[in-house]
């Protein structure tokens, strides 16, 4: 049995199993509610940004690791090997990294004016961007779904660059979510910030929660489209968009 630090997840779990009191479990004291960033932000470990996001304390973080260690051990993982001893910590960090969309993205807000300055006749033909790859976590199973996004809009007075649309996709995909919601949230963002004549969002994804567990056909894809403005009322416009984006991935 290798020597493990007393505050490591596996040591915490061993103490839990033995029925011993563990300093990080279970009640939250006033002291634990205080930010404790001096301990946790050092050299970025274990994720200064992530802790700032939810005002976690170092003790909460340790407790999260202990919970993860308990679950992984129950599932059959051996946490005493060099390869796995830091897995609970890496898992929590990976969860934070994968859900950074909750932190928003100030750089997505940059929009540019077009030549059009008002008037219903200054429509630009549809602008189609994509495919933009994305990864999200299914809120039902916390397993990834991933695929490609296409976004189209008919600009009025504002346009937005491709890099901003990539940021927009990431902002709404990097969360616990469902595919339909990503499309709706992206379309709503476009309407609110660009005030275009129309918006179309098309998302095609593979869901690991169905593929890994053998519920569905292994290569099945889920397709979701969201329409706003001219795309809701003009079937020909929808058809032009779909014919341009289908098969691109
Ligand atoms: Zn799922």
- Same domain as 116, residue 55: no
Residue 19, sorted as left (phi over 0), alpha (psi -120 to 50) or beta, turns out to be left
Q: Are residues 46 and 149 in the same domain?
A: no
**Domains held by the chain: number:** 2
**Ligand 1 center from residue 122 Cα (angstroms):** 43
CATH number, domain with residue 165: 3.30.1130.10
Question: 227 and 179, same structural domain?
Answer: yes
DSSP state of 203: E
CA of 10 to the centre of ligand 1 (A): 29
207 assigned to some structural domain: yes
The pTM of the full predicted model, rounded to 2 decimals, is 0.74
Please indicate, yes or no, if residue 117 is contained in any of the structural domains.
yes
Distance 218 CA to ligand 1 centre (A): 14
Half-sphere exposure for 204 (CA within 13 Å, toward CB): 14
Q: Which pLDDT value is given to residue 4? A: 47
Residues 67 and 93 reside in one and the same domain: yes
Residue 13 belongs to domain spanning: 9-98
The percent helix, strand, coil of the chain (3-state, each to 5) is 45, 20, 35
Beta strands 222-229 and 198-207, pairing class: antiparallel
pLDDT tens by residue, the chain, 249 residues: 444 454 555 554 444 444 443 323 333 334 334 333 333 333 334 455 555 666 778 888 999 999 999 999 999 999 999 999 999 999 999 998 999 998 888 887 777 777 666 566 666 678 899 999 999 999 999 999 999 999 999 988 888 888 899 999 999 999 999 999 999 999 999 999 999 999 999 999 999 988 887 655 667 789 999 999 999 999 999 999 999 998 654
Q: How far is the CA of 137 from the centre of ligand 1 (A)?
A: 8
How many angstroms is it from 136 CA to the middle of ligand 1?
11
The residues near 118 (Cβ < 8 Å, ≥ 6 apart) are 157
Position 161 scores a pLDDT of 82
Q: Tell me how far the alpha carbon of residue 140 lies from the centroid of ligand 1, in angstroms.
A: 5
Model pLDDT, residue 243: 93
The answer on 122 and 79 residing in a single domain is: no
Q: How far is the CA of 177 from the centre of ligand 1 (A)?
A: 9
- For residue 222, being part of any structural domain is answered with yes
What's the gap in Å between 88 CA and the centre of ligand 1? Answer: 22
Place of tokens 């830091």: 86
Ranges assigned E (strand) in 93-229: 112-113, 127-138, 144-154, 158-159, 176-177, 198-207, 222-229
145 in the same domain as 94: no
Token pair of 167, please? 């940021």
**C-alpha 11 – ligand 1 centre gap (Å):** 32
Assess whether 126 and 78 both reside in one domain. Answer: no
Residue 166 lies in a domain: yes
């Amino acid at each position: 049995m290798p020597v493990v630090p007393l505050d490591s997840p596996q040591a915490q779990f061993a103490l839990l199993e033995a029925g011993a009191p563990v300093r990080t479990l279970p009640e939250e004291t006033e002291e634990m509610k205080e930010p404790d960033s001096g301990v946790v932000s050092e050299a970025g470990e274990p994720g200064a940004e992530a802790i700032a996001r939810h005002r976690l304390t170092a003790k909460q973080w340790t407790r999260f690791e202990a919970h993860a260690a308990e679950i992984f051990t129950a599932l059959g993982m051996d946490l005493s090997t060099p390869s796995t001893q830091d897995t609970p910590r890496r898992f929590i960090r990976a969860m934070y990294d994968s859900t950074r969309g909750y932190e928003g993205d100030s750089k997505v807000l940059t929009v540019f004016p077009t030549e059009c300055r008002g008037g219903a006749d200054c429509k630009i033909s549809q602008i189609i961007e994509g495919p933009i790859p994305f990864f999200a976590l299914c809120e039902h199973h916390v397993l990834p779904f991933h695929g490609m996004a296409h976004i189209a809009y008919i600009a009025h007075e504002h346009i937005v660059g491709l890099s901003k649309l990539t940021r927009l996709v990431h902002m709404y995909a990097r969360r616990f979510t469902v595919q339909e919601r990503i499309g709706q949230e992206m379309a709503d963002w476009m309407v609110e910030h660009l005030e275009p004549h129309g918006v179309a969002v098309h998302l095609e994804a593979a869901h690991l929660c169905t593929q890994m567990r053998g519920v569905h056909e292994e290569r099945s894809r889920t397709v979701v489209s969201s329409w706003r403005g001219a795309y809701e009322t003009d079937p020909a416009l929808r058809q032009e968009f779909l014919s341009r984006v289908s098969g691109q991935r």
